[in-house]
Structure 1
Amino acid sequence: MAAPRTAFSQGRFYGAPTVERRLPGVRLAHLQATKRADHVDEHSHDDAHFVLATHGRYITTAAGPETEGPVLVYNPPGVVHRDRFIDGGGYFLAVSFAPADWRALADAGRGAAIDALRLTGPVARRAALRLTRSLLARDAETLSLEGLSLELAAQALTPSADGDKRPSWLDRAETYLADRFDQPITVADLAEVAGVHPVHLARGYRRWMGAAPGDRLRTRRLERAADLLMRGRDPIGEIALASGFCDQSHLNRQFLKAYGVTPGEFARLCGRRPVVASVQDEAGGAA
């Protein structure tokens, strides 16, 4: 007979907290992973929670296209999954809402997503990264942490209308972007791969992704840059070129705009010391 799946109570994960804050309705923690991938079985959580992987190679079973760092996932209460770090030493932010509090948020809004989500939008990632930075600072005001937590929660409280179904051609286009993000790509290229008219493709991207195809290409490039920052020690200038950006200054501007932190700040959140060129990496030099 198969062993019963582990069901974690609120705020509990396969990880040891480095920082933890308990607020009204939500628990925040930055944790170090404590289990190797082959020791992580299918499990569930009593709470609704968000996980942002901040260091290491993270694999998730949440629905959606495969993404690189920073990986941000929403899991509803009770959903069975096997999210895990491939290598040891992973770190992650966890934002946990007790079931009753999550139901209250859903009832006050438009309802909550019933399936796991892989959140790739800039609003969600910006909120999660700012929340990580505030939590690690250890002196953030409760109001600030609560506000950022609710910004993040809102990303799972606006599900698609009943009867809507994401078109399969969008997955083909997204895969093409993921495979060729470091090359010049046109709307015509995407439309040919997807098998739809360019106008239909542009409209579909805006409806289903909330962004233009060019925005999604930039997102893919930023995902690769963040992944390289999380996993390696290459100079930021080299990471910029490897991710499809013109230079380090270009990456600085786009990274700050999308995530609310510079590449150097993100690298420090991930626990590494960035190697930067002469280009200024602070907000004032990235305008």
Structure 2
Amino acid sequence: MQQLSKGKYYGAHTQKLNFDQFLVTDTIYTHDKVDWHYHENPYFTFLLEGKLYEANKKESYYLESGSLVFHNWQDAHYNIKPPEHTRGFHIELTKDWFTNFDISLSNAEGSIQVENPYIKQHIYKIFLETKKRDEFSKISIEMLLLNTFGAIEKESEDQKEKRPRWVAKILEIIHEQPELCTSLSDLAIELNIHPVHLSRQFPKYFYTSLGNYIKTVKLNKALIQIIKKESSITQIAIDSGFYDQSHFIASFKKSFNLTPLAYRKITTDVNFIQF
């Protein structure tokens, strides 16, 4: 079985940035199928465009635009790509990076498909930093990575505790039936719990308010469309479930300190430099 060294992925790199103990790549996948292999270092794969089928020794899953997966080192897997444009953003970290920041990988064995919307938003911000590229990019990315692994560790610990049934159900509704999230009372009825109980208990399991969580999911949905450049900002606001364009722009600026149009320009209209 082939081991891929640092920075090696099957595809054409439009950008490769080496920050010594971590490396980021923006890659267009070119192979219809990649046979069993593993990588020298742990890394994230964030699918920006297209679709991908991936399988390891324990599970398999279909990835779409906006999917995020963390692979621990020596985690063997294979990939199948449909005949369409597919693009991935990778963040690869050496073992020295984990040692320097005293981060254990014991809670991140094998491959993990990450669904937490706040972790995904960290990755979107890292992606933005790689396109802005200034003297503060490295420290900004490392801070976001530390927050990411902190959230992964916390989530891993929490999953060991027994949770009420409505916790899994509300996640399913937020992601699959967002139209039910416009009214707290209607949402509580779907979950068969009192709305006051839902409002008070939600932060216990998700560390933020219900409204903030839903807004973050909407922003992440919008972000992937912004990167694709297939829709106008107005259409993206509508498709992502925002009340109107002005509300969408205000929410976006609060999270990213720039407008959706500016984010699109920075992340898609740059001249990539390959190292």
Structure 1 residues 192 and 214, CA gap change in structure 2 (3 angstroms): same
Taking only the aligned residue pairs, the percentage that are identical comes to 20
Q: List gaps (5 residues or longer) in structure 1.
A: 273-287
Is 2:101 the counterpart of 1:113?
no
**TM-score, scaled relative to structure 2:** 0.75
RMSD: 3.6
In structure 2, what is the Cα distance between the partners aligned to 1:204 and 1:59? 36
User: Is the counterpart of residue 185 in structure 1 residue 182 in structure 2?
Assistant: yes
User: Which residue, out of 34, 37, 42, partners 1:48?
Assistant: 42
Structure 2 residue aligned with 1:173: 170
Separation in structure 1 between the aligned mates of residue 228 and residue 198 of structure 2, nearest angstrom: 34
Instruction: State yes or no: 1:21 paired with 2:17.
Output: yes
8 Å CA contact 1:54–1:230 kept in 2: the answer is: yes
For residue 74 of structure 2, what is the aligned residue in structure 1?
A: 78
1:204 and 1:147, CA in 2 relative to 1: closer, same or farther beyond 3 A?
same
Higher normalized helix content (fraction of residues): 2
> Of 233, 238, 257, which residue of structure 2 is paired with 1:236?
233
Counterparts of 1:214 and 1:68 in 2: how far apart (Å)? 25
User: Could you tell me how far apart the structure 2 residues matched to 1:72 and 1:259 are?
Assistant: 19
Per mean C-alpha deviation after superposition, the further-off stretch among 152-161 and 16-25 is 152-161
Q: Does the 8 A contact of 1:59 with 1:85 survive in 2?
A: yes
What secondary structure, in the 3-state scheme, does the structure 2 residue paired with 1:161 have? helix
Distance 1:72-1:261 versus aligned 2 partners, 3 A rule:
farther
Q: How does 1:115-154 map to 2 (within 5 A)?
A: 115=109, 116-122=112-118, 124-137=119-132, 139-141=133-135, 143-154=136-147
Question: Aligned with 2:182: secondary structure?
Answer: coil
Match of 1:94 in 2: 90
**Aligned with 1:51: secondary structure?**
strand
Q: Give the letter for the 1:52 counterpart.
A: F
The 3-state SS of whatever aligns with 1:17 is strand
Higher strand share: 2
Deviation at 1:110, TM superposition (A): 6.9
Residue 237 (structure 1) shift: 0.9
**Which residue does 2:272 correspond to in 1?**
none
Aligned residues: 261
Identify unmatched segments of 5+ residues in structure 2. 270-275
- For residue 175 of structure 1, report the CA deviation from its aligned partner: 1.6
